[in-house]
Amino acid sequence: MGLPGRNSGAILSKIATNNQHGENSEYFDGWKAYDKYPFHLSHNPHGIIQMGLAENQLCLDLIKDWIKENPESSICTLEGVHQFSDIANFQDYHGLKKFRQAIAHFMGKARGGRATFDPERVVMSGGATGANETIMFCLADPGDVFLIPSPYYAAFDRDLRWRTGVEIIPVPCSSSNNFRLTVEAVGWAYKKAQEANKKVKGLILTNPSNPLGTILDKDTLKDLVRFVTKKNIHLVVNEIYAATVFSGDDFVSVAEVVNDVDSYEVNVDLIHIVYSLSKDMGLPGFRVGIVYSYNDSVVSCARKISSFGLVSSQTQLMLASMLSDERFVENFLMENSKRLGKRHEVFTTGLKKADITCLTSSGGLFVWMDLRHLLRDRNSFESEIELWRIIIHKVKLNVSPGSSFHCTEPGWFRVCFANMDDDTLHVALRRIQDFVSKNSNNKIVEKATDKDQVIQNNNAKKQKWRQSNLRLSFRRLYEDGLSSPGIMSPHSPLLRA
């Protein structure tokens, strides 16, 4: 505890004292509410159910069974302890060769065998969060801009901007075309950024999309690859949900597209992939993030940066063995897709019984739920936050409001369905159905209590924070209306150093 009258911020860094982390948002507030009063079927049946965490718990039984059958894969067993000295000793930041080989092979398998990956281009990082930041440090300087289709993952504001100083310009997508991204929209945002004298260094995609659960078709990906090549800017594709596709067309990796596009239409030095085992395998606690780049200089720089956030050798050893097991991998990928599809069907069918629809999706661990009909004012983000507050504190579900994903339309919510057991899911569905049936004839209006008024005031402050921290506001960037759809060096000084 500091002495009275002392300003501790005066002796701390700008990173320590700024509010760029993004934690001051409803996305993280929902997690905090859950942590204070978590649901449990028997111990706390009236608690808040966590539906704001994109976690895949549907196939953990398969991983547990494999571990039981392969005790030699761990140094913490009698069968594997003979490897202890080799694994416990210092490992350089290239990582274990057999781990890089195994994860490169798994990445190909997770993409249906339609793309191959070179183990020598695999760079480890501490989860996808670390991988996202690493690629930003490699490609951009403070103040440089990346375009990102919105709505986009709420924590990108933290992962991409907080420590790097990189700025984000949203490329707005709307419900009028089911939030589909077009190269015309990207081109329009690029032009607006240039007119504002911003240095655009690249385009960042998440495919399958978080929070939409949609996948980009091959033709759109090809157009975007051609676009970044023409503009000489980077394309970073976050493919951490690659193996969560459960229906519709096959997932198409940018690695597959690179091989299909004529060589004169693509500069592979501008193409980079972020991957992880957190979503596809449900292993976020293992902190396995991957940067994969076709650019030799980026691979070299990312590998140096990776020394600040490596994957433990013990984890590498076990995963190298697991991911090299062809029979296990094939069965896991097939079963994962099947179980996700079944869970998605059960959840969306339950929502339909409450007259709630979702954006049609074919991947991811969540749905993009449409509650616009329940808003007091369909054009008001304040109404969205009012409804979100009721869902959190009255319905006792932690769902994430669309505004926290920078959606331009009020009333959309991301709801995760793969991070709980069947019984908990059914409880959540009953709560939603009961809530809607009681309010079916009315817009959701809640008279503010003193406590609610305090929450409203805090939300107003957060809204002001969001606006002030978008380096280029929607008003400034999109003054011509949201319906509207200099060659630069692609490298940062870190690469040249």
Average pLDDT over residues 422-449: 79
pLDDT in tens, 375-406: 999 999 999 999 999 999 999 999 999 999 99
With a cut of 50, say whether residue 471 has pLDDT above it: no
Omega within 30 of 0 (cis) for the link into 208: yes
Sheet strands (E) in 96-221: 122-126, 145-150, 167-172, 200-206
- Position 195 scores a pLDDT of 94
Q: How confident is the model at residue 444 (pLDDT cuts 50, 70, 90)?
A: low
With a cut of 80, say whether residue 418 has pLDDT above it: yes
- Position 346 scores a pLDDT of 97
- Position 153 scores a pLDDT of 93
Q: How confident is the model at residue 252 (pLDDT cuts 50, 70, 90)?
A: very high
Structure-block tokens of residue 477:
């960037």
Average pLDDT over residues 150-171: 92
pLDDT in tens, 79-130: 888 888 787 786 777 788 999 999 999 999 999 999 999 999 999 999 999 9
Q: Which percentage of the chain shows pLDDT scores above 90?
A: 69
pLDDT in tens, 48-57: 999 999 999 9
Instruction: Evaluate whether 275 touches 115 at the Cβ level (below 8 Å).
Output: no
Rg of the chain over all Cα atoms, to the nearest angstrom: 23
H helices of 279-325, in order, are 296-305, 313-323
pLDDT in tens, 182-217: 999 999 999 999 999 999 999 999 999 999 999 999
Of the given ranges (311-325, 401-415, 455-469), which has the lowest mean pLDDT?
A: 455-469
pLDDT in tens, 274-330: 999 999 999 998 899 999 999 999 999 999 998 888 888 888 889 999 999 999 999
Instruction: Give the helix, strand, coil percentages of the chain, each rounded to 5.
Output: 50, 15, 40
With a cut of 60, say whether residue 476 has pLDDT above it: no
